[in-house]
Amino acid sequence: MDVHGRTDSAVLAPLYVDDHGELHAVFTRRRDDLKRHPGEISFPGGRRDEGETLVETALREAHEEIGLPPGAVDLLGALEPTPTFVTNYAIYPFVGLIEPGFEWVLGEDEVAEVLELPLETLRAAYGERRLVRKGIPFRTPTYEVDGHLIWGATGRIVQDLLARLEPE
């Protein structure tokens, strides 16, 4: 599927089932000193390198950002591509199942922390807000969990993921 955006990028939405049968998603919180998207919550991902597929991009970026080896991911499929409006990226999200209890290795140049959030907690945390970024007002789906705000493109990806999964 195609989506508006000058720069192709891909993210991986790693999911795992914990010991209680609860499905979790893995996110990163970007470092506060980054020029682009400082402090924001996102799925591991980034720009596509020349010569690689979008799936390869998502898996490479997850490995670079959180130490998740591509071979540890059982790729389940793709979600609806989504654009970023301020940075003009076309984001292609992929969903992968991983084993619980993975020990994260942070890509310290980009990632401040890894968040493992239960999908039902995210579902319950849904809201919609009017935000302003770089002088541009917009409405966006939001998910606020333990003081962490997921919004924008990541919020739209989470909304698509939750819509495809039945509540428990």
102-158 confidence digits (pLDDT tens): 999 999 899 999 999 999 999 999 999 887 777 877 888 999 999 999 998 999 999
Residue 131: the pLDDT is 79
> Distance of CA 166 to CAs 120, 129, 161, Å?
10, 24, 10
Q: What would the DSSP string read from start to end of 86-117?
A: TT-EEEEEEEEE--TT------TTTEEEEEEE
Task: For residue 53, tell me if it sits in a domain.
Answer: yes
pLDDT at residue 133, as a whole number: 74
Element (H, E) at 7: strand 7-17
Q: Which residues of 9-41 are buried (b: 16+ CB within 10 A; e: fewer)?
A: bbbbbbbbeeeeeeebbbbbbbbeeeeebeebb
Stated pTM of the model: 0.91
Q: Could you report the per-residue pLDDT of 15-51, keeping only the tens digit for each? A: 999 999 999 999 999 987 877 767 799 999 999 999 9
Question: Under a CB-based contact definition with an 8 Å cutoff, are residues 102 and 116 in contact?
Answer: no
Reported as type and span, the H/E element at residue 66 is helix 54-66
Task: Give tens-digit pLDDT for 87-100.
Answer: 778 899 999 999 99
pLDDT at 168: 54
Is 166 inside any structural domain? no
pLDDT at res. 2:
56
Number of domains in the chain: 1
Give the span between the Cα atoms of 143 and 112, in whole angstroms.
19
Token pair, residue 126, equals 């849904």
- Between the alpha carbon of residue 66 and those of residues 16, 52, 93, the distances in Å are 15, 20, 17
**Looking at the domain assignment, is residue 158 inside a domain?**
no
Distance, in Å, from the CA atom of 25 to the CA atom of 29, rounded to the nearest integer, reads: 13
- At residue 4 the predicted structure's pLDDT band, cuts being 50, 70 and 90, is low
Residue 161 lies in a domain: no
Six token digits for residue 41: 């919550």
- Assign residue 99 the CATH number of its domain: 3.90.79.10
Per the CB < 8 A criterion, the answer to whether 79 and 164 are in contact is yes
Q: Does residue 128 lie within any of the structural domains?
A: no
- DSSP-derived pairing of the beta strands 7-17 and 89-97: parallel
pLDDT of residue 31: 86
The boundaries of the domain holding residue 63 are 7-118
